[in-house]
């Protein structure tokens, strides 16, 4: 088992990619703190983790709110004994043209959840990791953070900032034995994509734009997160790994 004896905090783990990461990490021996803004979904993931035989706690909290993040991390440390792994996964999409539907309010919300959330969770968990001279942080950015994407200006800008935050924290925290890496998923079949862009990507379009000819699965992103959170990636820090079926190629 690759994560035996570790504790992982995964944000936005009530659904999609975060949930798949929670279940895969539990299967590899980690105890899991499941955060989500929606408590019932967090509780469902925590129950599934317990069925795998690991300890799990469900924590409702908005990653964009400093008080929620501080209380969440304090609880993970007191209930599970530490935070060896942090996966900054919570994110929300906003689609629309900048001059049309992208209001100041939804710009601020997208940036707050994606960028400020990653900063707040990394800051609080980083304190524990620095004190304990150990840690793996995996940020879930997006292909949209590496290239421009139509109608996704605020989302893409926030995801690009997460990639740069990853690099800066990797430089600052390398000396404390903390690896900070990032994943840039492409088109992944999750409740989020089914709610938003699935209609723009029928199978014939996906076959045309994705070299591997299909959407990815949440489990395939989780596999990359496991690699970056494990000792297999011990000498890797500051990188962004695309998991996009070859679209960036």
Cβ 188 to ligand NAP, closest distance in Å? Answer: 4
155 catalytic? Reply is: yes
Neighbours of 14 (CB within 10 A): 26
Per-residue contact track with ligand NAP, 48 to 87, x per CB under 6 A? --------------xxx-----------------------
Q: Using the rule CB under 6 A, is 192 a contact of ligand NAP?
A: yes
Is 18 near ligand NAP (CB under 6 A)? yes
Is residue 91 a contact residue for ligand NAP (CB under 6 A)? yes
Output the smallest distance, CB 43 to ligand NAP, in A: 12
Site pattern 142..161 for ligand NAP (x: CB under 6 A): x-------------------
Q: Any idea how long the chain is?
A: 249
Q: Where are the beta strands (DSSP E) in the chain?
A: 7-10, 31-36, 56-60, 85-88, 135-140, 178-185, 188-189, 216-217, 240-243
Our finding on whether 89 is near ligand NAP (CB under 6 A) is yes
By the rule CB under 6 A, 43 interacts with ligand NAP: no
Q: For 153-169, b where at least 16 C-beta lie within 10 A, e where not — what string?
A: bbbbbbbbbbbebbbeb
Structural tokens at position 200 = 């723009």
| Integer Cα distance of 66 and 124 in angstroms | 9
Which residues form the catalytic set? 155
């Amino acid at each position: 088992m690759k994560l035996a004896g570790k504790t992982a905090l995964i944000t936005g783990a009530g659904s999609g990619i975060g949930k798949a990461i929670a279940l895969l990490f539990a299967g590899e021996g980690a105890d899991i703190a499941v955060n989500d803004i929606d408590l019932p979904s967090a509780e469902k993931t925590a129950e599934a983790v317990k069925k795998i035989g690991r300890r799990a706690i469900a924590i409702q909290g908005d990653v964009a709110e400093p008080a929620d993040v501080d209380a969440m991390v304090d609880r993970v440390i007191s209930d599970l004994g530490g935070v060896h792994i942090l996966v900054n996964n919570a994110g929300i999409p906003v689609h629309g043209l900048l001059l049309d539907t992208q209001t100041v309010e939804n710009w601020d919300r997208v940036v707050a959840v994606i960028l400020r959330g990653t900063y707040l969770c990394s800051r609080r968990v980083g304190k524990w990791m620095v004190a304990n001279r150990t840690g793996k942080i995996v940020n879930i950015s997006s292909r949209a953070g590496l290239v421009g994407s139509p109608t996704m200006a605020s989302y893409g800008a926030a995801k690009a900032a997460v990639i740069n935050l990853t690099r800066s924290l990797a430089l600052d925290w390398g000396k404390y034995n903390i690896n900070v890496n990032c994943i840039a998923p492409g088109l992944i079949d999750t409740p989020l994509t089914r709610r938003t862009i699935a209609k723009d990507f029928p199978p014939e379009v996906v076959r045309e734009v994705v070299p591997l000819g299909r959407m990815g699965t949440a489990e395939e992103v989780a596999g990359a997160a496991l690699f970056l959170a494990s000792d297999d990636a011990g000498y890797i820090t500051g990188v962004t790994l695309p998991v996009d079926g070859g679209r960036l190629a």
